[in-house]
Structure 1
């Protein structure tokens, strides 16, 4: 049997972190004279009690070693525990949400999906608005650490490629895990602060600037306004938002190397170059098309609208400055396809990820060449690393499971009465952790509040599965896992 004590011990520590975070929202309500501060204080006390009890009951005298089997369980259970704690304030504040809505909002925040069931954001108390941003900011740094430290050793979807570069064992970045976490935390916090100062200097209020900065760097997309980023009718803010969303979609390992003196790390990485080239090509093409079709009054406006919304979808941030579903069927089809792209691995972005598309393209090229020359032997490389057969197989397995899970969820949502466009885009945006879908209900101008409770439960599970890279959860369903 698996020893669950180290797993529950770490979950207890994470709950204590969540309890501390709730105090900030309580203070925001106290400063503004809102009585909901009691909700956050009570939720914090309950979360701290449960987390402290778990920690004390499961601690041991010496540091516990986490095995591969325990790592799978830890990753899944940690996100479930934290998501449950995150839902508490939504259940009890002044405009209390139902249980399905509260869990949906919490999971959407922590997975940095950005889909919301809350309407009338301008009328919401400051504490609950800040809590939504804090959930995304906490989830963002958790995603980075999970993707860089844990998933390479679990062999999820080709991430073995990054083991030699990301693991503390290699010594290539920093020698110790604790030092690695410090670097990530400082860089993440520093970028968030720079983003907040930039937003404030460009015209946002201090509260809006801090909240949107947390949602930008976490590539989450929660806003304090129903109109999302489009509420701020400022070209400077939109260009600034585009730049910082890009920053959130770049691997944080590259930032660590950069601050440690490897200044070429941000420009020589094969994944980053492909990521930036793809975004530039799609944004410029769409910007020219918008201008030529009269959707934009100038080329600058067309490029700005295209760049912001393309970067937002590809990095899975989910901010919107316009209802791009009104740009015509070509734009709708393009944004649906962009939902599946994703940012770089080791970033806060969700989606399939750029490197998986690169490996798939390399494997397809090799296969086509082998059809022409059956006895040809190709050695596949990616960024100087050898792409082995098991890496190729894991990428193909991930894509197959992703498509299968996406298809099953689409059928389930359609069976609940949703139209095909809503069902398709809701399933896609949940698994890719993007946020807005397509159509009148869940498009960039709508939200998920009108969906049935059953649909919200399905989408909550899909968001969690997508963020945990599918296999991390699916392996727990294998009887062999529990038999050891």
Structure 2
């Protein structure tokens, strides 16, 4: 690239922002006197120095962000910021090792929700809030990434969800970034505040409510209790169900709703919303029936089934029960649900609902053409005709996604994990779900007992999954670096 200054400038602002956030946590810790202020003040100082250097190096750069620069900044941020954000976990009361602290930080920023920390119920408030805030930031970050950058990278059909106002000339990321960012930021904040109010009304304390609001709307799944949402009231669990769903729906659909433009084609993604609810409904019905067979009351069976199905599909990772105890069929269902994910342009991870929609419609179109070779009726998604390149993009992403899962499972097995833990560990990290299957990393388990090498591999898979794989792979293409 000819101009690295914009990379330094943007990276400096990001690091300065996180340093300021650490400073605010230090002030808050001083006010509540939970003995973590020193760790946060030290983190802020460590961050402000390189941030100042980066800002000085990049000062005077043009504000316009080009495609290549955006990719480099994105990868640097998602791999670099977790190391900085891990400092309070190392310097504070938890005194986590470097690997454990980075794992917790990566899991937070990618909104995966896997944790190596136990004793959450008695942990310092400022540390619990720090990890919750990381997930909230990660959630809004992935919305921006999936709307502003991935469509230009043509990652697995994401080009189908461009805003009509996007300006592709000279590879500008978006024509009106400020307006879009303000709109989505306002929606995200509004949903978080509504979720907070819901939790307060159903019995959570103010601190518990704000933490869970931050990690519910972001579909992250960090909790203030080792028992996750099972520690809280039935009313709180229903609130969680509702807002996990809102976080997994495309935020561009909310934008259209606020603009009274429900009929517009393109980035709303209303087809995938329908498919999302169909999949949730079918899985919930199966799990409810399974619980009823085991003599559970209807409302208890429905709530447990619906909560845990939605938690896994939206990649939130909360748990109210150890669904591994529901039998091998339930384990198989939840394993496959791990890959599904939410809608494109949401905070959720996973394969994404719209890709299943594209593949299904492409298959149906192919079968129709086999039956009627002269048929010219094109398949459509979000009001747009599916081109051969769109289908090829989704098919290629599907192959790479499966290959990444397989390679991840093999590498995890090489670190000493059993087959079930390797498979579910790779799946839950790639889809950013949180809990896996098995005695170690299941819904009732914890990742702390895993070897350091395993945690590093899982952390890398989490970032790959969050960046939709191709965002990282494109850096290894020689032509990407040519002017």
> TM bucket by the smaller chain?
over 0.9
Q: Secondary structure at the match of 1:274?
A: helix
Higher mean C-alpha displacement, 427-436 vs 51-60? 51-60
2:289 is matched with 288
Q: Secondary structure at the match of 1:443?
A: coil
Q: Name structure 1 gaps, 5 residues minimum.
A: none
1:256-309: per-residue Cα shift (whole Å, max 9, x none)? 222223367899811112112221222123212211222x2x111111111111
Higher mean C-alpha displacement, 374-383 vs 187-196? 374-383
Higher mean C-alpha displacement, 332-341 vs 143-152? 143-152
Partners of 1:316 and 1:342 within 8 A in 2: yes
Partners of 1:219 and 1:316 within 8 A in 2: yes
Root-mean-square deviation over aligned CA pairs? 2.0
1:131 is matched with 130
Equivalences for 1:12-91 in 2 at 5 Å? Answer: 12-60=12-60, 62-63=62-63, 65-91=64-90
Residues 61/442 of structure 1: CA separation in 2 closer, same or farther (3 Å cut)? closer
Partners of 1:168 and 1:177 within 8 A in 2: no
Partners of 1:426 and 1:442 within 8 A in 2: yes
Aligned equivalents of 2:439, 2:165: Cα separation in 1: 42
Aligned equivalents of 2:479, 2:253: Cα separation in 1: 37
Q: Name the TM-score, length of structure 2 as normaliser.
A: 0.94
Q: Secondary structure at the match of 2:449?
A: coil
Q: Secondary structure at the match of 1:339?
A: helix
Aligned equivalents of 1:175, 1:453: Cα separation in 2: 44
2:259 is matched with 260
Aligned equivalents of 1:61, 1:412: Cα separation in 2: 42
1:332 is matched with 331
2:277 is matched with 276
Q: Name the TM-score, length of structure 1 as normaliser.
A: 0.94
Size of the aligned set, in residue pairs, is 477
Residues 145/275 of structure 1: CA separation in 2 closer, same or farther (3 Å cut)? same
Q: Secondary structure at the match of 1:445?
A: coil
Partners of 1:25 and 1:127 within 8 A in 2: yes
Residues 387/205 of structure 1: CA separation in 2 closer, same or farther (3 Å cut)? same
- Cα distance, 1:321 vs structure 2: 0.4
1:191 is matched with 191
Partners of 1:215 and 1:221 within 8 A in 2: yes
1:443 is matched with 442
- Cα distance, 1:103 vs structure 2: 1.0
2:157 is matched with 158
Higher mean C-alpha displacement, 79-88 vs 350-359? 79-88
1:406 is matched with 405
Q: Secondary structure at the match of 1:440?
A: coil
Q: Secondary structure at the match of 1:320?
A: coil
Partners of 2:82 and 2:105 within 8 A in 1: yes
